[in-house]
Amino acid sequence: MNTLFNKKTIFFLICALGVIFSRIIPHIPNFTPVLSFVLFCGAIIPDKKFGIILPLSTFAISDLALEYLFGYGFHTTMLYIYFSLIIIALFGQILLDIKNPKNLAKISVFSSCTFFIFSNLGVFLSGGYPFTLDGLVTCYIMAIPFFVNTLMSTIFYSFIFFYFYFYIIENNKIFNFKKLWN
């Protein structure tokens, strides 16, 4: 099927809407599928530019919705966050053997760490903490509970996105969980 609305397109649209919705509904802080979706788009979408544009657009739409509905979608750390999302999408593009669960877990951890580093650097540089070494250290220490949630959600949702894509969309049983333990 080579139409605009083939099953892959519909799958990505449903995922994008799910990501937007996940940021709007009440949720555990930083426990959303955002980073996983960015990584997934970078890894799966053949057009590398679109693999970055789709997740960034999805995030921007959710920021607009948060701003409109609750008044807090736009903030001083947005550039740092968007920059980290671009890096994560690029990680997805260079991800080797994405059907290997170990590799997926590793890149999910790396993506979470990237987001943690850049988003909290943004918090620090926007004046959230004193411009001292102690202020920088305190900024990162105070963010650790959020990092735990980011890490857990990124690993969890990455496996969901890739599993559903390979098993349902590609009808491919290659995503072998036995590789996780080898």
pTM of structure: 0.89
Reference 180, options 94, 108, 93, 112; nearest CA is 108
Instruction: State the DSSP string of 50-93.
Output: HHHHHHHHHHHHHHHHHHHHHS-S--TTHHHHHHHHHHHHHHHH
Convert the pLDDT of each residue in 101-142 to its tens digit.
Answer: 888 999 999 999 999 999 999 999 999 999 999 999 999 999
What number of CA atoms fall less than 13 Å from residue 77's CA on the CB side?
Answer: 18
Rounded to whole angstroms, the Cα distance separating 84 from 52 reads 11
Per the structure block, which two tokens stand in for 66? 């948060």
pLDDT in tens, 46-75: 999 999 999 999 999 999 999 999 999 999
Structure token pair of residue 128: 């959230």
Do you know the residue count of the chain? 182
